[in-house]
Structure 1
Amino acid sequence: MAERITVYTTGPSCARCTLTKNVLTSKGIEYDEVNIRDNEDARAYVVDDLGYTEAPVVVVTDEDHWSGFRPDHINRIATH
């Protein structure tokens, strides 16, 4: 995978966020984490532009993103 992905989280108290990050790491997928509680622009992007209302939000590309803990998607991107 050429580009790093971004994981938008709501912080360490988000169990699905932590689980998603742990599985990404275990699959060797590098990512940048952005806490949308600390970053208003990132929160606006996730909610207003992408239309998600729950964390985590994983953005691989402008066309490839999802919300929540989705091991099926993590496995899909790990095989690229």
Structure 2
Amino acid sequence: MKNVKLYTQPACPPCEFVKNYFQMHGVKYDLLNIKENQAARNELINEHGSMSTPTIVIDGEVIIGFEQERVDELLDLSSSKIKD
């Protein structure tokens, strides 16, 4: 199983899209709200070089924003694998 982190914040429509996408595909992930969790915010900026949400980290690979093709590639997803 891949280690997936999703950095998010309130009132972030793209973040909600990623959460729904992960749910549709049965992806397990750690949700890190940078508004509520200062350590997560610092990690996002200092370790991953990002200042925006959503930022997705899959086994150390950082994706700033939602790049569906890259996410699908790293998680070995396809539209035929959507969970009911």
Unaligned segments of structure 2, at least 5 residues: 78-84
Which residue in 2 is equivalent to 1:15? 13
Which residue in 1 is equivalent to 2:82? none
Count of paired positions: 77
Unaligned segments of structure 1, at least 5 residues: none
| Higher CA-based Rg | 2
Stretches of 4+ moved more than 6 A in 1? Answer: none
Identity of aligned residues (%): 25
| Aligned-residue RMSD, C-alpha | 1.5
Distance 1:28 1:35 in 2: 20
Return the offset for 1:41.
Answer: 0.7
Distance 1:74 1:52 in 2: 17
Matches within 5 A, 1:52-67: 52-62=50-60, 64-67=61-64
Q: TM-score, normalised by structure 1?
A: 0.84
1:78 aligns with 2:75: yes
Q: TM-score, normalised by structure 2?
A: 0.80
